[in-house]
Amino acid sequence: MEIKIRNVDPIAVKKIDELAKERKVSRQEFLKSQLETLAFFRKQTDRENELENLIEKNIKMMEKCAVSMENMNHILLEMIGDPEE
């Protein structure tokens, strides 16, 4: 698909050309890459946020499991007697 952009500030075009030259690509390739990145950026950010939330939930669940395991160990030690006593 083709996209045309008119009335771009010449200074902006010069900066775009410099950035493209630094990356050793054409202006068209550089702009195409930037537009595609922009188009998918929000989706990627949403995925990262979902992953961070999932990790946080997992951490909380692991903390609860650790507390439960400590309680079970304490109960077992009371039932069988503490070998260190």
pLDDT by residue (tens digit) across 39-49? 888 888 899 99
CB atoms within 10 A of CB 25: 14
Percent of the chain with pLDDT over 90: 68
* DSSP-H helix ranges across the chain: 10-22, 27-80
pLDDT by residue (tens digit) across 12-51? 999 999 999 999 999 999 999 999 988 888 888 899 999 9
Q: Give domain limits for the chain.
A: 10-80
| Range 71-83 burial, b when 16+ CB lie within 10 A, else e | eeeeeeeeeeeee
